[in-house]
Amino acid sequence: MRLFRAVFLALALFAPITAAVAADPAKLSGAVKTPLTLDDATLNGLPVASVVVSYATASGSAKGTYTGVLVWDLLKKAELVSGAEKGALLRHTLLVTADDGYAIAVALGELDPSYGNKKVLLAYKSTDNSASFEHLRLLVPGDIHAGRAVHNVVSIEVN
């Protein structure tokens, strides 16, 4: 019984401390010249963008306004490494991974202003408070069911 009380007391005392420790910032890596740490300093150094996203839910639909940076601007800052041959950029994808292991892919051709020009956003602020610098959220406007919306992004890898 004493052991049980000691473990319970230790957990009660140290749980708030471990909960207060912030997770490591997300990273952008892969086929780029300069990998980036996606912290508030990096994100605040880029142009601010906002998107309004509407998507279907089980109970109808939802809509929100999100503020952050365009993923294309992040890729320009990191300097994509691509071949010189025609359409080389179109061979690349992004693998965006959340802290729970959920991952999605986005073709770079969707983002490139010369092709799809989608305003894919890495949000750090939202009207529903679901995004923050500690809980980055990827949004792909135009997706009907928001299947490529990623909560708590931990990495973006350029393949």
Q: Which domains does the chain have, with CATH numbers?
A: 23-158 (3.90.420.10)
Q: Flag whether pLDDT at 9 surpasses 70.
A: no
Pairing of strands 103-107, 93-98: antiparallel
Q: What is the pLDDT of residues 100-144, one digit of tens each?
A: 999 999 999 999 999 999 999 999 999 988 899 999 999 998 888
Q: How far apart are alpha carbons 55 and 127 in whole angstroms?
A: 15
Answer yes or no: is pLDDT of 46 > 90. Answer: yes
Q: Tell which residue, 47, 45, 67, has the closest CA to residue 129.
A: 67
pTM listed for this prediction? 0.82
Q: What is the pLDDT of residue 22?
A: 53
DSSP state of 135: S
- The confidence score (pLDDT) of residue 16 equals 42
Spatial distance between the Cα atoms of 82 and 136, rounded to a whole number of angstroms:
27
